[in-house]
Amino acid sequence: MEPVDTDVTGPEKHDGEPHDGEAPSGGEAVEQPQAPTLGELLLAVEELWPESLAENWDEVGLVAGHPSAPVTRVMFAVDPTLEVIDEAVAWGAELLITHHPLLLKGVTTVAATTPKGRAVHRLIESGTALLTVHTNGDSAVGGVSDVLADALGLQDVAPLTVAANGLPEEGIGRVGDLADAMTLGDFAARVFGILPSVAGGVRVSGDKDGLVRRIAVCGGAGDSLFNEVRASNADVYVTADLRHHPASEAREAALNGRPYLVDVSHFASEWLWLPAAAAALGNVLADQGHEVEIQVSTTNSDPWDFILTPG
């Protein structure tokens, strides 16, 4: 697959220097930033994306790694695929933070004869830790849907569902208003423009010339939130993985044609969060006196490679 085609890059770029994986020796220069241990880095992650914000069906947190190991390089990615893990290992990351869990369902083997087993082996054999920040990263302030709302220029943003164990501004999905009404066609072009380029593009259901202003968003698969979207009086709902029945039933139930639907790539909608997450983690670590290089994966892990359309 081609790398992600986007202008957005992580906050720090690899300088091409060889990477020895050693923590700086302490002692003579106590004011110098230090590489944190993985355990210390997990505390910074918990500050930004507390595990208590995760949905109860989710599995978040550390998947592989020694808390005592020093971390000098961190890579963010959407999916813990082998290609992504290889990218992290090649760059010398001691920690890979992915949005999607590697092991969401129970397993009875991690033998290297299965794809997930190969991933576990590659991580452990290379000394690369893996951390999942999933629905806790969706729900948090500055989370996946917050970043999406911000990139679309939404104002007065609130969650579609307020988090059970969080602040009023935390929860799944977001709804807010554009500064000015625009046509659905122009709005869809804005959505297309902010996302990384993927084969599936952007699909839209609704009147291209209809005016929209109130926008609901949910990064990743959001077809369980139609009741909340309707209750929010949104003109448009932007989410991913909209299947035939939920989408067509939502269109049948629409009032004055609204909410219109904008169906985007699951990967693309969540990838947008990565540079913001990398910057946020870099800031927290810098405040704590730690020096860590942080990079966003350039691997496109969207499963689709090409599309045929009429005309």
CB atoms within 10 A of CB 99: 25
- Of 226 and 271, the one with the shorter C-beta distance to Zn ion is 271
- Of 80 and 220, the one with the shorter C-beta distance to Zn ion is 220
DSSP 43: H
By CB under 5 A, which span of 60-68, 118-126, 170-178, 217-225 interacts with Zn ion?
217-225
Rg (CA), the chain: 20
CB of 88 vs Zn ion, minimal distance in Å: 19
CB of 144 vs Zn ion, minimal distance in Å: 8
The token duo for 180 is 């000015």
CB of 296 vs Zn ion, minimal distance in Å: 16
Binding pattern for the stretch 95-134 against Zn ion, x by CB under 5 A and - elsewhere: ----------------------------------------
- Binder among 173, 220, 222, 275 for Zn ion (CB under 5 A): 220
| Residues whose CB falls within 8 Å of the CB of residue 220, separated by 6 or more in sequence, listed in order | 138, 144, 239, 240, 241, 266, 269, 270
**Three-class secondary structure of residue 75 per DSSP:** strand
25: exposed, middle or buried (C-beta count within 10 Å: 0-12, 13-18, 19+)?
exposed
Kindly give the pairing relationship between strand 236-240 and strand 211-221: parallel
Binding pattern for the stretch 239-278 against Zn ion, x by CB under 5 A and - elsewhere: ----------------------------------------
Residue with the CB atom nearest Zn ion in the bound state? 220
The token duo for 281 is 């983690």
By CB under 5 A, which span of 33-41, 150-158, 198-206, 219-227 interacts with Zn ion?
219-227
CB of 168 vs Zn ion, minimal distance in Å: 24
CB of 48 vs Zn ion, minimal distance in Å: 18
Q: Which strand ranges, in their side-by-side order, compose the sheet holding 129-132?
A: 61-64, 129-132, 95-98, 73-77, 293-296
Q: What burial letters (b/e) apply to 205-220, b meaning 16+ CB within 10 Å?
A: bbeeebebbbbbbbbb
- Of 159 and 220, the one with the shorter C-beta distance to Zn ion is 220
Binding pattern for the stretch 161-200 against Zn ion, x by CB under 5 A and - elsewhere: ----------------------------------------
Give the separation between CA 286 and CA 68, rounded to whole angstroms.
19
- Of 134 and 290, the one with the shorter C-beta distance to Zn ion is 134
CB 93 within 8 A of CB 74: yes
- Of 91 and 304, the one with the shorter C-beta distance to Zn ion is 304
- Of 42 and 172, the one with the shorter C-beta distance to Zn ion is 172
The residues that touch Zn ion, with contacts defined as CB under 5 A, are 220
